[in-house]
Structure 1
Amino acid sequence: MRRFVVVLLLIFTSSFVFSNGQQDAAGSSPKSVSGEFNWRQCEGETIVTCFPNHVTYNALMPLIPEFEELTGIKVEVDLLQYMKMHDKQVLEMSKPSGDYDLISMVCMWKSEYAAAGMLKELEPFFNDPSLAYPDYDFDDLVPAYVENTGYVGGKKIYLGGPGAKLYGVPFGAETSILIYRKDIFDKYNLKVPETYDEVLETAKFIYENVDGMYGMTSRGASGHQANAAYLLHASPFGARVFDENWEPVVNSPESIKTLEWMKKMFSYGPPGMTSFAQDGEFQAFLQGDVAMYLDASVFAGKARDPKQSKVYDKLGYAMHPKQENRLSESGGFGLAIPANASHPEAAFLFLQWITSKETERKVIENGGAPFRTSSVNDPILQDEYPEFKALALQLPHVNPDWRPIIPEWGEIDNIMGIAVNQVLTGEKEPQEAMDGIMAPIREIMVRAGYIK
C-alpha cells in the first residue's frame, strides 16, 4: 500500500568543462553494460522513498504502478513539501537503519549529505552488470544537471573533476530560460530581449504603455527566495560569492551592478513582488499580470497548461539573456540512495527506471521537466513542447557553479537573501547592504576552516 505523507568537511576549488553532451566534468562516466536484464531480481521487496510535492515528481506518481508490475517491487512514497524534506531526511539517514531507500535531494544538500557519509556512491551500482540496465545511456543525461545534482568531491567540493564521486542523478533538475507573452510582444512590435539592458527597456515599456500589465515577475521574499533571484542574475553579470581562495566578494562592482539592475527591474514589476516566493512569482505570470518570466525552466509546464494558466496559448520562449555572459542557473532535484538504505539494490532499480529514456518520455507527457539531451533535442518533442527549442540552445551555457553549494551554504544563503531584500525594498543601498554582510560570511568561512 503506497503511503503519502503530504507535509512536505572537506574543502576543494575547480572549474567545469562540458563538450558535446559528454560527462567530462567528473573525470569518468559509469561503464556501459550489455546483455539481458532481470528487472525482477528484487521481487517481493518493499522500498520507501522520500519525494517532494513538485511538478516533475507529481508527473511520476501515476506511473509508479508500471514499475511495480515490471519488477514485483512495492513502492511507498513519503511525499513532502520540499522545504520540509531536509530535516526529515537527515533524521532518517542519521540512524543505523533509516526508513528511506531512495530520496530526492535538493542539489544544495548533496555536499552536506555526502560529506557526512549519508549517501551511497552510485558508480559501483552502475558498473555492476547484474544491476545496471543496459539501455540506460548515462551520457545522455544533461551533463550540467549531473554535475549539479550528482557529483561531490572535486577540487571544489560541490563540483566534479578529479577525485569526484557520483552520489545522485538528475530528476526534477532545471536551468533558466525566458518565457514571454508573445501576443503582447507581437501587438507592440517588441523585440525579444537578448541582453539585460533590453530586458529592462522592455519591462519599462510594458509598464508604461500596456494597461494592467507589468514588466517581469520575480522572487523577492527575504532570505532564500531573494538570494535565488539575485544569483540568477549575478552569474551573467560576472558576480561571484567567493574568489578562488574562498574569500567573500559579494560587494564586488559586478555584484553592485546586479543589484542596481534588479532594483530598477522591480520598479516595473507587480505590487508586492518583494514578498514573492516562487509560487507568487509563478502566479503573477499564470494570471496574465506580467509579460516576462526569467527563472527556472520547470515553470514552462505550468505556463502552457490550460488548467493552470490563463495565458497558456500566448507564450514565447527564448534563451537566458546575456550581460557579460549568458550563463544560466542549474538547480532542482536529484535522486540518491541513503547509506543506511535497507534495500539499496531495489532502490537502484527504481532510480534507473525513473530516469530511463522510456519513463522520461511519459513524465514529460504528464507535465514533468526533461533531463536527457536526446529529449530536449528531439524535433518531434520540440514541436509539441516549444520551450525545448530554447532549452536546447541554453543547455551549453548552464553554469553548475552559479552558487557555491558547500555544506555551509544554507546559512550564507539566508544572510545574503536578507541583504538582497533590503536593497529591493529600499531599506538599504546596494553597496551598504553587501558591505554589511562581508564580515558575517567571512566568519562562517573561518569557522568552517576554509580560510584563516
Structure 2
Amino acid sequence: MNNHVRRLHRGSRAAVGLAALMAASVLAGCTTSSSPDTSSDVESFDWKNYEGEELNLLMSEHPVSAAIKENLPDFEEKTGISVNLETLSESDYMVKILTELQSGSGNYDAFMTSQPMNYQYAAAGWIEDLQPWVDDAKQTAPDYDFDDFFPALIEAQRWDTTDFGGAGEGGLWAIPANEEGYALFYRKDILEANSVEVPQTIDELIAAAKKLDGTEFEGKTINGFVSRGDKTFPTLNPFSTFAGAYGVKDITDGKATVNSPEGVEAVSKWVELMQTGPQAASTYTWYEAQQDFLAGTSAFYIDADHMAPDFEKEGSAIAGKVGYALPPEGPEGRSSSLWVWSLGMNAASEHKGAAWQFIQWATSKELLTTAISNGNMNPTRVSVADSPEMAAATEGWGDYNTVWKEILADHASWPYAPSSTWTEVGDIWATAIQSAILEQASVEEALDDAAAKIDAAIE
C-alpha cells in the first residue's frame, strides 16, 4: 500500500485511542444547529465574490491535501481568497481538529473529515450542513455538477443525528474527496497452476482457499487466504464483505445484534476462511496482511481496493500477477464497507462563503483529475473515474478499473450504526472475531459476550 493508504489506516487506528475523548466531547456539545443561512449580499455566483477574504484550513498529510497544496496558487488567483493550509500527521491531526472544533473558536474554516468524525461533529453542532450551500445557485458554481459524485459516497456523508439510526438521511456533512471499497484480490498464476476458477461466492472462496492452502508454488508454501485479524475496528472493513453478504447489523433498535443467527453464520464463515491463512494472521493489521500478499505467499486477500498501486508498482514481486474481483456473494448478495475522506466546513467559521468556494474547487472535476497524479485513488466523481487520465494511470492493472467502480456503484455503503461510540463498538466486535479465530471461544460464545459488552457501552 502506498503512503497515503498507510496514513489513512493509521488514522483509523488513531481514532480508537480518541474514542473516549470524542464520546465525552459529544455529550458536552450542543445539539445540531438549525439549517444554515447561506444568504449574503452576493447577487449571483462569481468566483470573485469573496475576494480579499482569508481562509485557514487544517488537514491530514494525505494525497488529498498534497494535491490541494500543490494547486492552491490556482485557487487563490481564481478567487482572490488567500489560504493558509496547515497539514499534520494523521494522529496529530485527529487530536487537533477535535480540540479546535470543541473550542468553538472558528480558527479553521474547513478541514478533512470522515464518516465516524462526521457523526461526532454533527451531533455536537460543530460541522456545517452543506446541502443548503449546494442548493443555493448564488453560492454554487453552475458547472459544479453535484450529481457527478458516486451516490454511495454522498449517502455516506448524510446523517440526521439520530443515535444508531438515520444514516444516509438528513444533513450533508461533507463533500467526498477520496474513497476505498473492499475487493477480492487473487493470484492469477497460482489459480491457473492449480486449475482453480475465480470464486464468485463465499462458499466457493472458502473451498478454493482450502484447496490451495499448503500447496507449493515457485518454491514457496502458499496460504489459502490472508486478511486483517487485529482486534480493532478497522478489521471490520474487510470482514464487512461477509457481514453485509449475510445481512448482519451491529445495532438494531438500540441493542447489539452482532450475535444474531446471521451474525454467527457470517463470523463462522470468516473464521473458516481465516484458518487457511498464516498462523499470525489473527494479529494482522492491514499492513502485515498486505506485506504477506506482496511477498507472494497467499492466494487470496480481501482488503481496500486501492492497494492496487503497491501490487502493480515497478519492482513488485507480484506486479501483473494479481487479479481483481468483486467481494464474494452470500445469501444477501455482495457487499462492501467504504471509508471516505471528505471536506467539511466549521459551523463556527466567519468565512463560510469563501470556505464553500474552497470546498467546491477542491472537489471539482478539474482538481480531482489532477489529484490522480498525486496518488489520490480512487476518484469520488464518476466523470473522473471514467477519465482518460484514470485509465492511463491504471493501464495494465487488469480488471482493477472496472472492479473498483462496480464495487462503489453497486455494493459499497457504510454498514454500521452511526453514533459517537462507534469505534468502541467496533473494537468489541473485532475482539470477538479474533477470539473465535484463535479458538479461545466458540463463535456463539464470543459474539454473545460481545453483544453484552456493546449494550453496556451504548447505554
Matched AA of 2:302 = L
2:323 corresponds in structure 1 to 316
User: Where do 1:105-254 residues align within 5 Å?
Assistant: 105-153=113-161, 157-161=165-169, 164-209=170-215, 210=217, 211-243=220-252, 245-254=253-262
8 A contact 2:63–2:371 mirrored in 1: no
User: Where do 1:45-64 residues align within 5 Å?
Assistant: 45-58=53-66, 60-64=68-72
Structure 1 residues 74, 213: closer, same or farther in 2, change over 3 A? Answer: farther
Say if 2:408 is the partner of 1:395: yes
**Structural RMSD (CA):** 2.9
Structure 1 residues 282, 48: closer, same or farther in 2, change over 3 A? Answer: farther
**Partners of 1:440 and 1:313 in 2: CA distance:** 45
Deviation at 1:234, TM superposition (A): 0.9
Q: When the two structures are aligned, how many residues end up with a matched partner?
A: 414
Structure 1 residues 216, 42: closer, same or farther in 2, change over 3 A? Answer: farther
1:411 corresponds in structure 2 to 424
Matched AA of 2:365 = K
8 A contact 2:226–2:278 mirrored in 1: yes
8 A contact 1:220–1:229 mirrored in 2: no
Matched AA of 1:294 = I
Matched AA of 1:319 = L
Secondary structure of the residue aligned to 1:189 is coil
Matched AA of 2:318 = V
**Partners of 1:377 and 1:435 in 2: CA distance:** 45
8 A contact 2:183–2:305 mirrored in 1: yes
TM-superposition CA deviations, 1:414-438 (whole Å, max 9, x none): 2222222222222222111111122
Deviation at 1:256, TM superposition (A): 1.6
TM-superposition CA deviations, 1:101-160 (whole Å, max 9, x none): 211112112122111100111122223334312111111101111111344447964523
TM-superposition CA deviations, 1:337-376 (whole Å, max 9, x none): 0112243222222211121111111222332111112333
User: Where do 1:419-430 residues align within 5 Å?
Assistant: 419-430=432-443
1:373 corresponds in structure 2 to 382
**Partners of 2:64 and 2:301 in 1: CA distance:** 20
**Partners of 1:254 and 1:372 in 2: CA distance:** 34
Deviation at 1:61, TM superposition (A): 4.3
2:286 corresponds in structure 1 to 278
Matched AA of 2:240 = L
Q: TM-score, normalised by structure 1?
A: 0.82
Structure 1 residues 126, 217: closer, same or farther in 2, change over 3 A? Answer: same
The gaps in structure 2 that reach 5 residues or longer are 1-6, 12-25, 28-37
Structure 1 residues 94, 381: closer, same or farther in 2, change over 3 A? Answer: closer
TM-superposition CA deviations, 1:243-302 (whole Å, max 9, x none): 3x2322111222122222222222222342222222223322333333333222232333
8 A contact 2:237–2:337 mirrored in 1: no
8 A contact 1:150–1:170 mirrored in 2: no
**Partners of 1:360 and 1:194 in 2: CA distance:** 33
1:299 aligned residue (294, 307, 313): 307
8 A contact 2:186–2:299 mirrored in 1: yes
Matched AA of 2:201 = T
Deviates more, 1:115-124 or 1:63-72: 63-72
Structure 1 residues 443, 358: closer, same or farther in 2, change over 3 A? Answer: same
**Partners of 1:155 and 1:221 in 2: CA distance:** 27
Deviation at 1:52, TM superposition (A): 2.8
**Partners of 1:90 and 1:54 in 2: CA distance:** 18
Matched AA of 2:210 = K
Deviation at 1:235, TM superposition (A): 1.0
8 A contact 1:145–1:174 mirrored in 2: no
Say if 2:344 is the partner of 1:331: no
Structure with more of its chain in helix, by fraction: 2
Structure 1 residues 338, 349: closer, same or farther in 2, change over 3 A? Answer: same
Secondary structure of the residue aligned to 2:375 is coil
Say if 2:373 is the partner of 1:360: no
The gaps in structure 1 that reach 5 residues or longer are 1-5, 11-29, 448-452
Secondary structure of the residue aligned to 2:251 is coil
Deviation at 1:75, TM superposition (A): 3.5
Structure 1 residues 302, 146: closer, same or farther in 2, change over 3 A? Answer: farther
TM-superposition CA deviations, 1:218-251 (whole Å, max 9, x none): 11111223333433421112222123x2322111
8 A contact 2:149–2:380 mirrored in 1: yes
**Partners of 2:72 and 2:295 in 1: CA distance:** 32
**Partners of 2:408 and 2:81 in 1: CA distance:** 35
Deviation at 1:83, TM superposition (A): 4.7
Secondary structure of the residue aligned to 1:257 is helix
8 A contact 1:256–1:431 mirrored in 2: yes
Matched AA of 1:360 = L
8 A contact 2:435–2:441 mirrored in 1: yes
**Partners of 2:208 and 2:63 in 1: CA distance:** 30
8 A contact 1:219–1:275 mirrored in 2: yes
Q: TM-score, normalised by structure 2?
A: 0.81
Say if 2:279 is the partner of 1:266: no
Say if 2:303 is the partner of 1:290: no
Structure 1 residues 70, 314: closer, same or farther in 2, change over 3 A? Answer: farther
